[in-house]
Structure 1
Amino acid sequence: MAGGDRSALTGREAVAAVWRIESARVVGALARYTNDFALAEDLAQEALAEALVTWPRDGVPRNPSGWLLTVGKRRAIDAFRRRAARDEKYAALAHDLGEGGVLLGTPPAEDVEWDPDQIDDDVLALMFISCHPVLSPEARVALTLRVVGGLTSDEIAKAFLVPTATVQARITRAKKSLGAADIPFEVPPPGQRAQRLGSVLSVVYVIFTEGSSASSGDNLIRLDLAGEAQRLARVLARLMPDEPEVHGLLALLELTAARFPARTGPDGEPILLEDQDRRRWDRSAIVRGRAALTRATKIGRGLAYYGLQAAIAECHALAPSVNETNWDRVVTLYEALGKLAPSPIIDLNRAVAVSMAQGPAEALKIVDHLEKSESLKNSHLLPSVRGELLTRLNRKPEAQTELKKAITLCANDRERTVLEQKLAALNHSQPKAPET
């Protein structure tokens, strides 16, 4: 490869790295300057496009994020000029950029300094706007990954196995909805913050859940997507250090991700919890997760939805084996979680814990109730758990029926393979004394 090619490659890599780290700050700062979220995101994308051309040719500027912000401001000036809107916004932006000569040439990165009193507020406001309740859940996820996570539309589409055009349409509609609703670029006032925070946490949780247990496709775990959710949770914990549920979510993500190294084999095949080599669990992630959970507890007000799940994950993280897990505590935590936020998935997980603490017969009562309610009739999880319980109770024909149903409903290739293996093992097994 020629020297010029190496330089170009280095420049493009630098653009990608800086964008992933600083895009939220750039978009946030531009939104604060223009008071127009949609325009700010467009301006940041234009600055990114200019960097992809300029940096490989001229070298990476000494202040890359400042360079991007200055280009974005300059493009904002151009947009206001085209609209002939020489109003207070134009005057304020022009003043920030200095004398007119700066507007005509390539902006020197050294002329722009980050305002340390505004950075955190900008990113936090950006997260609240991207997760605004006026948007659909799908739009919130796409917009958050785009403007806060710095992912491209192609990357988001690949992560969620949808066409790029679908992601682009969601982002476009989201920006139009925010504009039509005249959403101000600001961190919500204290009275609204708790309600809006739930939406932000939910989006980060959805992103991580899809990454940690892919709903479809041929990979069980999508590390890039799960990692992006962890990064967003860390940012949120830094920006809102006095919110216990923020730390609870971070703890849950860290403790869950700690098991990733042992959850799949060399060929990507799933490894069940009881078969995992716990020596491969990420101990540093466990330490970080427990520290976040401790922080959530010390802040007070008790553990909430994510904190309780983190406490359950901590039980698994501390146990030397499945059999040595404190299943009674896990059951108690799931009972508390079910009272706080009733959900058929929580009840199903509680049934699994009950089967370990009290036996499959007690657990089957919970599962049978869920089956009658038809709340999980389209999920493979219910017949999968029911099939496992029936197997332990030596009710082989019923277990076979449930596992076949689970295989039919499962959309993830890796999980389906595990279910098929369980069915095959059951078909060749010999009768044994049932568990009670």
Structure 2
Amino acid sequence: MFSSLGVRNYRLFFSGQVISNIGTWMQRIAQDWLVFTLSGNNPLALGIAVALQFTPTLLLSLWAGVLADRVDKRRMLIVIQVVNTVLAGSLGLLDLTGVVALWHVYLLCVLLGVTSALEVPTRQSFVAEMVGRDQVTNAVALNSSIFNMARIVGPAIAGFAITWVGTGWLFVANAVSTVAVVVGLAMMNPAKLFRGPAIPRAKGQLVEGLRYVRRRSDLVTVMVLMFFVSTFGITYFTSLPIVAANVFHTQADGYGLLSTLVAVGTFTGALASARRGIKSRPRVRLMLVSGALLGLFELITAFMPTYLAFGLGLIPLGFATITFLNTANALVQTSVSPEMRGRVMGIYVLVLIGGNPIGGPMTGWMADAFGGRSPFYIGGAVSLVAAVVCALVLIRRGGVSLPVRRFGNGLRVLKRERV
């Protein structure tokens, strides 16, 4: 289950992420609650904050993918994390001094969106450089496990810490935790990285990446389904504070507990993905099934009558969500050529996160117009339909072409997977 931790460079990265991700989730909860408080519990204000944070992805992620193929990914990640430290510390200072206003948080959302648009394609493609192709699936799953372990610990701490000390100290804590990532990256041995060939600056590289994806039916399937599920289905993270406050009338600790219950499911799912990644390659069938289950569980959870029942419904929803995300990520990482990985991951991040500027305000609007539960049952229905339609299309076409490396002569051949 932990085979990729045998690589020293990845161990350093993994250790830094364990600490930093807890801080990130503490800040995420604090940021959402601060927006909700400053706006007078306005769901639309929360949707605007999400849109501002993810709009830069629409503008920058494709270009960031090209940049990731050109530059030293390790050094780029160090610079980005230093900037994130400054941003989190600045908002914490504004909050602690009592001068924070809603526009300050909105500005932070935009700036964090810029760094995220640059960081995510670089970090995703850097995984393969740390561990090599054979360990990518396991490393992706372990990344998800620590991310979701942090999603358990971070919201649990944040929910109670906000009640005790307010949101400001959580921003400061995140700034301090980000230092762990910088230290881990700085301690790596660059000579032990599995680097692809250097990609010189040239015209048309972005278009080349788009054409590469268009020619691959397996990648097109992943991208299309990911867009619909992430834009409409995986918006429940945004609507959780709305449900906690406006449906079940709880405080910050109630929101933190709901986030933790989601994370119990995602953490369990990530560990299962890590175990599965040792034994077999990622499969399109698993991606389609987990996407359908995500929609189904979200739809069922939407109608749970009590706070406890709703919270318990979030556990299988979290499991299906992380299984879907990990499988899609691993499918992309393991099936692209090294010189194209950054550009393809830029496209992947665009469809994964780029729908949030639509989904964020839409979630707030739906909750305001149709009630706090509506983002769950609408998003669940769209995700379920999208997964079923993609499966039917692939069945009609007789499967999907998946590239497999023939190690004897280094050539790629196509293998047909039945859905």
**Higher Cα radius of gyration:** 1
Common topology (TM > 0.5): no
Structure in which a larger fraction of residues adopt helix: 2
Structure 2 length-normalised TM: 0.30
Structure 1 length-normalised TM: 0.29
